[in-house]
Each structure stands twice: as structure tokens, then as C-alpha cells.
Chain A
Amino acid sequence: SQQGEEDPQALSIQEGENATMNCSYKTSINNLQWYRQNSGRGLVHLILIRSNEREKHSGRLRVTLDTSKKSSSLLITASRAADTASYFCATDPRPGRSLQAGNMLTFGGGTRLMVKP
């Protein structure tokens, strides 16, 4: 089962416009991560926001986290054709600080973003 669900599933915008993608998750989290995937390739890490953070910026990216609503949003400002990709949110599905060490992520279904030149 998927921990996160992205909304919308697909988004088409013109170059220069802003793109906003939303993610909802089910259990409590330690952090939430956003990844980008260009068609059929590996994932690229974009940003990690911890549960005690509300907003984080990285270049043209802005991520917000609302733990009370179990939701996050990714904003890409001044979009470019090169931003065309699928965007995924991901969380560690183990609630709280797990006694079991390790790395594991549960991904949402992703938002397919198309930026038209």
C-alpha cells in the first residue's frame, strides 16, 4: 500500500508558470522527501523536510509540511521545460523513531508534470 498520495496525478503548465503538487500521507513521520524522475530513469532527490520543519527552500523549490493535516506541498517557481518529469513524495512508513535501524521509503503515486515551452 502507498503511504503518500500525490495530487494532481498530472499537471500541464506553460514555461514560466508555477507548479504546485500536493502529497498526503497516513502515519506519523520523521521526515518527508521529494524526488524527481525523468521518464523511466532513476530518481533524483530534491529536498528532505523534517517533521519539526514547516517550510524549506532549495533554489526554485519550496516545500511545506503540515503534520497536523498529514500533508506536504512542493512548489516549483518559474518552471522550465527541463522540469518536465514525475515528482514523488516519500516517507519512512515506520511511525516514530523505530528501534529497527535501516532505510526504507514508501512512495506516493507521483505527479506527472509537463512544462510546455
Chain B
Amino acid sequence: KAGVTQTPRYLIKTRGQQVTLSCSPISGHRSVSWYQQTPGQGLQFLFEYFSETQRNKGNFPGRFSGRQFSNSRSEMNVSTLELGDSALYLCASSLVAGGITDTQYFGPGTRLTVL
């Protein structure tokens, strides 16, 4: 089975712009989660989607949003980019859809640089 794929792998934007990142989960996985990784804050949970619905959301401003399509592919969008949004954005998919977090399978990440 192919792993989790993320596109693009690298992205450079300027402050004030918006960006869309894409994630394709492992075939059959319906849960997709997004994480932000920065040197200062470490790995932080952004949000999780399942069956096109956002089920969980981390503590991020409304500039961060996401969606999931019927084929489970997910996108996240960051509007009005700030310098502090520079980070590695990781997507993870999971097979289990219950109330207890099970194994997460991560993609390679998208490295976003905001200038």
C-alpha cells in the first residue's frame, strides 16, 4: 500500500498570502489529522477530519482551516500568512475511527517558509 503523501513538499510564501496544502491518506484510512512542527513549539495538533467532518480541533487561530473530500483526501489552508507560520506541516492518517487514538501514519510533511 502506498503511504501518506503530501504535496507540495516545499513552499515559499510571503506574509499576507494564503496557502493550501494537500494530503492523501493511506487507502482505506478515513481519519486524517494535521500537525504543525516548529523548533519553538514542537509538534502541535491542528485538526482532524473523518468522513468530511472536522471532529477535533487544536488551539490555533481561525486562519488555519481544513477540509476533507469524499475520497478522504484532505487539504489545509492558512490565510494571511505570518512569519510564525513557517513550519513543517505533517499529515497523518489512521484506520481506527473510535474514541481512542490509534497508530498514526505520517506523511513526509510540507516545509512552509514565510518571508
A residues near B (Cβ < 8 Å) are 2, 30-31, 33, 35, 40-45, 48, 88, 90, 92, 94, 97-110
Q: Measured between C-beta atoms, what is the minimum distance from B113 to chain A in Å?
A: 12
Pairwise interchain contact B103-A102, C-beta atoms closer than 8 A: no
Task: Report A-chain residues with C-beta under 8 Å of the C-beta of B105.
Answer: 45
Is B75 on the interface with A (CB-CB < 8 A)?
no
Pairwise interchain contact A103-B90, C-beta atoms closer than 8 A: no
Pairwise interchain contact B48-A2, C-beta atoms closer than 8 A: no
Q: Measured between C-beta atoms, what is the minimum distance from A4 to chain B in Å?
A: 10
- Against A, the Cβ 8 Å flags (1 = close, 0 = not) of B37-62 are 00000111100101000011010000
The one of A30, A42, A43 that contacts B100, using a Cβ cutoff of 8 Å: A30
Pairwise interchain contact B101-A92, C-beta atoms closer than 8 A: yes
Residue of B nearest to A98 (CB): B99
Pairwise interchain contact B103-A45, C-beta atoms closer than 8 A: yes
Pairwise interchain contact B56-A102, C-beta atoms closer than 8 A: yes
Residue of A nearest to B44 (CB): A107
Pairwise interchain contact A41-B103, C-beta atoms closer than 8 A: no
Top 3 nearest A-B pairs (CB, nearest first) are: A102-B55, A107-B43, A92-B101
Task: Report B-chain residues with C-beta under 8 Å of the C-beta of A40.
Answer: 88, 109, 111
Task: Report A-chain residues with C-beta under 8 Å of the C-beta of B106.
Answer: 35, 42-45
Pairwise interchain contact A31-B101, C-beta atoms closer than 8 A: yes
Given contacts A40-B111, A42-B90, A98-B99, contact A103 B104 (CB under 8 A): yes
Pairwise interchain contact B100-A92, C-beta atoms closer than 8 A: yes
Q: List 29 A-B contacts (CB under 8 A).
A: A31-B100, A31-B101, A35-B104, A40-B111, A42-B4, A42-B106, A42-B109, A44-B106, A45-B103, A48-B102, A92-B100, A94-B99, A97-B100, A99-B99, A100-B55, A100-B56, A101-B50, A101-B97, A102-B48, A103-B48, A103-B56, A103-B92, A103-B104, A104-B45, A104-B48, A104-B101, A105-B45, A108-B42, A110-B43
